[in-house]
Structure 1
Amino acid sequence: MVGFTAVFSALLAAQAALAGPIRSRTPYRVKDSHHVPRDWRRVGRAPGSHIIDLQIAVKQGNFAALEKHLYEVSDPDHPRYGNHFSADEVKELVKPTDETLDLVHEWLGDNGIVPSAYSSAKDWITVSLPVEAIEQLLDTEYQIYEHKEGGKVARAPAWSLPAHLHDHIDTIQPTNSFFRARAEKFDHVETPIYIDAQYTPSLNSTLNAVCNVSSVTPECFQTLYSTKGYKTQASDKNAIGFNNFLGEHPIRSDAELFLAKYRPEAASSAKDFPMYTIADGPGDYALTPQEIEDGTSKEANLDVQAIAGISWKTPIVSYSTGGSPPFDPSVSTPTNTNEPYLVWVQWLLSQESLPQIITTSYADDEQTVPKSYAVRVCNEFAQVGLRGTSLLFSSGDSGVGAYGTCISNDGTNSTQFLPEFPPSCPYVTAVGATKNFDPEVVAYRPAFTGPDGVSHGNYTSGGGFSNYFTRPPYQEEQARSYVENLNGLYNGLYNKDGRGYPDIAAQGLYFAYFWNGTEGTISGTSASCPLTGGILSLVNDALLAAGKPQLGFLNPWLYKNGYKGLTDITSGSAVGCGVDGFPAVEGWDPVTGLGTPVFPELVRLAGGRLP
């Protein structure tokens, strides 16, 4: 009954809005426009009666102060290091000014529109309206666009606001964002069928005894990254979360099979880790026949198994968020057609307590989302960091860009490398991928066709430089030096002043895992990201056991001190866009970042306690 009442109220509001012309104290002007990405095509007008949950990003009150605080509490040399903020303290920094809220409410109220929801800091306002009402409110037209791989959305490439609101509203969505979250996983196979001909087994007998290049297991990771034998000491104070989107949800029976084989002492943890569902995301249930046919939840299974295999007994938390559903003109109730990151992070920021680390293995080309929207979502991640949570994102699986797609979306159709978002956000830690063991090198596997006739695409650890976000202060020296040492290589194909990523790396080729009761292997930075999260959660465990705060936003510490506890990767490159891409070098590089973890050294550098 509540749902019906909300819809009925929205329809009444829409009728009031349509009863006369849109009223405004100043003329309308275009606020934002964004070219339709090349993988999308227009297929028709959006039905006027279709109801959308429209989210209005109200200008935040003092984000500059929030950013300053974030860098201070994350700088190991600052006296405030580790003094993370509470939920209320963060809200106080970002809540809009009274003037801004009053002006936005006046505009909505003058047109008979009543907000249906607010974010916890009231910096996002949701209104549920039919498309025809939104079109009048924003002086635009919604069309239906279809992606080449399937799925339709209602979008308006350009939209307007009254001139006096331009400085009070950052963005409104869904309008012109074509962000399409994709899992950064590559090729589930039950029998690996491609091994690098140049691979030679490690001369280290300890590694060679436990590391098999064709199926890499938790025992190999424990040995390679020196976590073997560590016993958690602060499981009551520590937790690690991971995100699921696109209908994914972890399958407990598969996690139990995996742990029973590779980490038997941890098998019971598969039965009871909490699974939170957000915005009608999928719940805790076994795979359905349709999900089996579609191959759903391989990513979710990989994430939980990669984490549990390295970080036991640290509690695990799963988040499954709905959003970005295919357009269905028959639906007459409000639909969430925003990208799931915003939905998830708004929910997360409304919670009083958060896990110390959260990993995410999904991303898309940065240019598919308008800069204004990317900046606001990135700012939400900064709020999470100030509260003491490390956000890790996969860096991508296509090097500097997938072959045949390296075309700009600015109307010029020029050739350029394609950075990914959210890993390009400066307030998250992006994780690249390696392969082999002694030494580790950039994860790379060329495209090939197996003996079974199945084609497998090119896979390379992703990396590059953002076109939206400038180089952050914590990596100024390293990224600037890297660009200078390229000596003009790839000039014009990337933004030399952009935020460079990834920041760190770990194994990402042929992970052993279970799906639908069957063991196979899977590759991608979607493997290296949760693995890295699991290792860093053990660092947090050692810190908390010593009475010290968790790592929080990692990057300032990594670039100043933490890099000394990483193994530098100097071989390989971010192959993509028909070229070799950015090479791995001594020090930081935009393909493996600062390197791969050496657990005891990270604990020592962070000031933790080893038992």
Structure 2
Amino acid sequence: MTTAALITAGLAAGASAYAAPSPDAGTARTALAQNLAPALGRSQALGAVPDTQRLSVAVSLKLRDSAALDQLITAVSTPGSADYGHYLTPTQFNARFAPARADVDRVTAYLRAQGLTVTAVSPNAQVIDASGPSSVVEAAFGTQEVNYYDAALARHFYANTGTPTLPADVASVVQGVSGLDNHTVLHPELAGGTATPNATPSGFGPSQYDAAYRLNQLGADGTGQTVALWEFDGYKAADLTTYNSQFGLTGPTASTVSVDGANYDSRPGDGQVEVELDSEIVRGVAPKATQLVYEAPNSDQGEIDMAAKIVSDNRASVISISWGGCERDTTSSVRTAVDNSFRQAAAQGISIYSASGDDGSRDCAGSSTKAVDYPASSPYDTGVGGTTLTLNGGAYGSERAWSDSGGGVSTVYAKPSWQTGSGTMRSVPDVSSNADYPGSPFAVYTTGGWTVVGGTSAAAPLWSGFSALYNQKATAAGKARLGEANPALYRIASGSGYAAAFHDITAGANQDYSTATGYDPVTGVGSPIADGLTNALLNGSTGGGGGNTVTVTNPGGKSGTVGTATSLQIAAADSTSGQTLSYSATGLPPGLSIGATSGLISGTPTTAGGYSVTVTVKDGTGAAGSASFTWTITGTGGGGGGCTAPGQKLGNPGFETGTASPWSASTGVVDNSTDEAPHAGSWKAWLNGYGSTHSDTLSQAVAVPAGCGATFTFYLHIDTAETSGTTAYDKLTVKAGGTTLATYSNLNAATGYVQKSFDLSSFAGQTVTVAFAGSEDSSLQTSFVIDDAALTVS
């Protein structure tokens, strides 16, 4: 049965038929296609909307030269194009593509002549807002407004019963009318966060997710970048301040930008957790980035007006969106209006990341039909799915698809030219990162306490924070910011550098789709390896001078032995013949070097350990490519015969004997109280935490066999009551013999334990004392908690 037939049947069954107002007989009118709420077919009509009820509408106008705009969007994202990276300003965009002034005047004149009040015209001239009594709105658009009840969602709404019409000359420049129904209410893509807040944080903090995705390897903090948060509720500045203080984060204070008069901050609603989650995750990834919190009414008009304002303001290079709705329940007039602003964002070099939803492959509430989430399904933004992240010693361990990760195939958007995967329709998500609740949630401070939160609402701001870091690096390198991310991300994922830039997630599924090698509609092309992805974006897959592309073949993980000569030839190719290539490398094991012109890595390793190597190859035009891989060097053993006594050498490494021995420790350091949790078991070493001047020590002497490599590891948790995020008042010093390995302080406080690792191979053949010394000043406690230490030789 067609939508129109379903609506007619519903009217006949639930209420008397409502006739649309009769337009003037002498005026030819044109229907605006597909402006009916899809939910009408399943809803019960209750009665006409009162004539005096005031309604607000957003009339969207058609862009000029839409085909040329699409060509420009492709050009600014394509390496080698003359327009690559040459983004427009809003003024330039308006001059070429915005609706003409005469068209805006024609539509506003019509609305006013019908008795509507024109309340605003967007700066990009794409949206005209108007309001008036229901009876006036009905006459202006030739339709009837009726109240309905949607049993699937258990909510009342009003909607137009027929397709709106306009005089032909007005309709010729109008894209659609939104606000004739109020069925669609966007919801946060959030899981958890509803439990009674706790006094202390748990879940992943910035140190964990920054380390897992190697965001902390970029040497960037978001300085000079601005992220726009797309919100339909408010936040408490004090909550954000507490989060920042807990994790030692400093940066510009978030500020609110009101859309259509909305400003929820004095009295945030149920969406407060969402807004604060978005801000806190962006802060954790890119602490120095400016955050603009755009707040709009939760309505079709609010969504459309927010999109238009963000791109017209042009203050942000990244938009983070964690609110969405079922694509099928979103009218085409709304999608087209928002997409037109998203197209403007692409032309202006603004990246957009949208949460893909938390209902798996069936995004429409009350329905078992496959459906995806909008705006994540828009081809002009990057849909972000969810994973379950497992850490290994504080670093990335593994990932699998979160079973509730939104993903599937769009029913309205054709597959873009840059997207991989099968089928003819767009699929989402494009990328993914941690989102599992309750499996691997994030620590969030909200509504006056700590809670744990997951959902793709956490994944979208993480990727937005990455874009801010990337844009900072690109600016410093004299290159264009990322802009529309998908063309570049899929280009990298389809090339030889895929494994160095993304974690390809091949385990797990949602209701209808499973993960697979490469792209899949649950986790996209995967989660970020931030330094590898940044290198690919900066140097390789986005091209370089003259549009050339350098491709470096990743050799995969390598191994070697201290004292044994080794060599590795790096293979690289240029898209243009005749180019001279130059080679460089970072992170090589000591004793190895790379030939600048040959690309041959050679030498004799001198130090055992695990090394992260990145090789970069450049051509004469400045184009570059890179590959990252691991290189593990093991010890030689006595006389070159291998390590004769491998294994873990510390005594009582987890303190589970209940005494310090063979450690030497200050009184009370070895502890099994519940005030500070152990990493594992029941006992741990707790240094300081008194809130007064105090010193604690912990040490053990251990013999490192001759000819062996040695690695010293331990798990460390730091919490503090210090309120300053800039001064190190309380300190923990870690030494091996007379060598200081590291110093930590209250500035390093974070949730949970983080594994620390140090190479002690230089002590082979000696007895070395590993020691911890904690010092605390006269006020405000800092606790340094150590557990599960090991000194492993090989």
Please report the TM-score for the alignment, with normalisation by the length of structure 2. Answer: 0.59
Q: Is the 8 A contact 1:37 1:368 kept in 2?
A: no
Q: Is the 8 A contact 1:35 1:157 kept in 2?
A: no
Q: CA deviation at 1:84?
A: 0.6
Q: Is the 8 A contact 2:359 2:406 kept in 1?
A: yes
Q: Is the 8 A contact 1:539 1:602 kept in 2?
A: no
Q: Is the 8 A contact 2:434 2:459 kept in 1?
A: yes
Aligned to 1:463: 407
> Per-residue displacement from partner, 1:489-544 (whole Å, max 9, x unpaired)?
xxxxxxx4221111111111211111222211111000111111112211111111
- Trace 1:443-462 onto structure 2 (pairs within 5 A): 443-444=402-403, 460-462=404-406
Alpha-carbon distance in structure 2 between the residues aligned to 1:28 and 1:601: 53
Alpha-carbon distance in structure 2 between the residues aligned to 1:102 and 1:215: 54
Aligned to 1:253: 238
Task: Say which of 425, 431, 440 aligns to 2:399.
Answer: 440
Alpha-carbon distance in structure 2 between the residues aligned to 1:132 and 1:275: 36
Deviates more, 1:19-28 or 1:300-309: 19-28
SS at match of 1:322: coil
Residues 256 and 114 of structure 1: is their aligned pair in 2 closer, same or farther, counting only changes over 3 Å? closer
Q: Please give the root-mean-square deviation of Cα atoms over the aligned residues, in Å.
A: 3.0
Residues 172 and 234 of structure 1: is their aligned pair in 2 closer, same or farther, counting only changes over 3 Å? closer
Number of aligned residues: 501
Deviates more, 1:36-45 or 1:302-311: 36-45
Aligned to 1:178: 183
1:374 aligns with 2:335: yes
Q: Is the 8 A contact 1:307 1:534 kept in 2?
A: yes
Alpha-carbon distance in structure 2 between the residues aligned to 1:442 and 1:38: 34
Aligned to 2:355: 394
Residues 229 and 251 of structure 1: is their aligned pair in 2 closer, same or farther, counting only changes over 3 Å? farther
User: 4+ runs of 1 displaced by more than 6 Å?
Assistant: none
Task: Say which of 209, 223, 228 aligns to 1:221.
Answer: 209
Task: Say which of 89, 92, 95 aligns to 1:89.
Answer: 92
Alpha-carbon distance in structure 1 between the residues aligned to 2:51 and 2:179: 15
Alpha-carbon distance in structure 2 between the residues aligned to 1:256 and 1:517: 11
Q: Is the 8 A contact 2:158 2:181 kept in 1?
A: no
- Percent sequence identity is 23
Residues 141 and 320 of structure 1: is their aligned pair in 2 closer, same or farther, counting only changes over 3 Å? same
1:502 aligns with 2:429: yes
Task: Say which of 31, 45, 51 aligns to 1:48.
Answer: 51
Task: Say which of 137, 143, 160 aligns to 2:146.
Answer: 143
Aligned to 1:350: 312
Alpha-carbon distance in structure 2 between the residues aligned to 1:404 and 1:20: 36
Task: Give the aligned residue type for 2:504.
Answer: D
Aligned to 1:479: 421
Alpha-carbon distance in structure 2 between the residues aligned to 1:139 and 1:403: 30
SS at match of 1:479: coil
Q: CA deviation at 1:95?
A: 2.4
Task: Give the aligned residue type for 2:213.
Answer: Y
SS at match of 2:418: helix
Task: Say which of 227, 232, 241 aligns to 2:228.
Answer: 241
Residues 303 and 404 of structure 1: is their aligned pair in 2 closer, same or farther, counting only changes over 3 Å? closer
Task: Give the aligned residue type for 1:383.
Answer: Q
Q: Is the 8 A contact 2:185 2:298 kept in 1?
A: no
Alpha-carbon distance in structure 1 between the residues aligned to 2:135 and 2:95: 36
Task: Give the aligned residue type for 1:278.
Answer: V
Q: Is the 8 A contact 1:406 1:418 kept in 2?
A: no
Q: CA deviation at 1:608?
A: 6.8
Which structure carries more helix by proportion?
Answer: 1
Task: Say which of 229, 233, 256 aligns to 1:275.
Answer: 256
Q: CA deviation at 1:169?
A: 1.9
Deviates more, 1:89-98 or 1:550-559: 89-98
Alpha-carbon distance in structure 1 between the residues aligned to 2:105 and 2:444: 53
Aligned to 1:26: 28
Q: CA deviation at 1:283?
A: 4.5
Deviates more, 1:421-430 or 1:159-168: 159-168
> Per-residue displacement from partner, 1:322-361 (whole Å, max 9, x unpaired)?
243xxxxxxxxxxxxx34320201222332x321111010
Q: Is the 8 A contact 1:362 1:394 kept in 2?
A: yes
Greater RCO between the two (CA within 8 Å, min separation 6)? 1
- Trace 1:570-581 onto structure 2 (pairs within 5 A): 570-575=506-511, 581=512
Q: Is the 8 A contact 2:319 2:351 kept in 1?
A: yes
SS at match of 1:561: helix
Task: Say which of 97, 118, 121 aligns to 2:124.
Answer: 121
Q: CA deviation at 1:52?
A: 2.3
Point out where structure 2 has 5 or more consecutive residues left out of the alignment.
1-20, 391-396, 541-585, 587-794
- Trace 1:129-208 onto structure 2 (pairs within 5 A): 129-146=132-149, 152-158=156-162, 159-163=164-168, 165-176=170-181, 178-188=183-193, 190=195
Alpha-carbon distance in structure 2 between the residues aligned to 1:547 and 1:302: 32
Please report the TM-score for the alignment, with normalisation by the length of structure 1. Answer: 0.75
Residues 24 and 554 of structure 1: is their aligned pair in 2 closer, same or farther, counting only changes over 3 Å? farther
Alpha-carbon distance in structure 2 between the residues aligned to 1:29 and 1:106: 19
Deviates more, 1:89-98 or 1:47-56: 89-98
Q: CA deviation at 1:50?
A: 2.0
Q: Is the 8 A contact 2:415 2:424 kept in 1?
A: yes
SS at match of 2:193: strand
Q: CA deviation at 1:392?
A: 0.6
Task: Say which of 350, 353, 362 aligns to 2:323.
Answer: 362
> Per-residue displacement from partner, 1:300-338 (whole Å, max 9, x unpaired)?
1111111111111222221121243xxxxxxxxxxxxx3
- Trace 1:528-607 onto structure 2 (pairs within 5 A): 528-561=459-492, 564=498, 565-575=501-511, 581-607=512-538
Alpha-carbon distance in structure 2 between the residues aligned to 1:109 and 1:534: 44
Alpha-carbon distance in structure 2 between the residues aligned to 1:532 and 1:390: 10
Q: Is the 8 A contact 2:230 2:295 kept in 1?
A: yes
Alpha-carbon distance in structure 2 between the residues aligned to 1:20 and 1:424: 38
Which structure carries more strand by proportion?
Answer: 2
Q: CA deviation at 1:118?
A: 1.7
Alpha-carbon distance in structure 2 between the residues aligned to 1:562 and 1:188: 34
Deviates more, 1:586-595 or 1:28-37: 28-37
> Per-residue displacement from partner, 1:344-396 (whole Å, max 9, x unpaired)?
01222332x32111101011111112223312221211111211110110001
Aligned to 1:67: 70
Alpha-carbon distance in structure 2 between the residues aligned to 1:189 and 1:440: 25
Residues 605 and 562 of structure 1: is their aligned pair in 2 closer, same or farther, counting only changes over 3 Å? farther
Alpha-carbon distance in structure 1 between the residues aligned to 2:133 and 2:156: 17
Aligned to 1:201: none
Q: CA deviation at 1:602?
A: 1.6
Q: Is the 8 A contact 1:542 1:608 kept in 2?
A: no
Point out where structure 1 has 5 or more consecutive residues left out of the alignment.
1-18, 193-211, 325-337, 408-415, 445-459, 481-495, 576-580
Q: CA deviation at 1:132?
A: 0.3
Aligned to 1:304: 279
Task: Give the aligned residue type for 1:87.
Answer: P
Q: Is the 8 A contact 1:92 1:121 kept in 2?
A: no
1:525 aligns with 2:513: no
Q: Is the 8 A contact 1:185 1:397 kept in 2?
A: yes
1:78 aligns with 2:63: no
Q: Is the 8 A contact 1:73 1:82 kept in 2?
A: yes
SS at match of 1:591: coil
Q: Is the 8 A contact 1:588 1:595 kept in 2?
A: yes
SS at match of 1:137: helix
SS at match of 2:432: strand
Task: Give the aligned residue type for 2:251.
Answer: S
Alpha-carbon distance in structure 2 between the residues aligned to 1:23 and 1:281: 41
SS at match of 2:215: coil
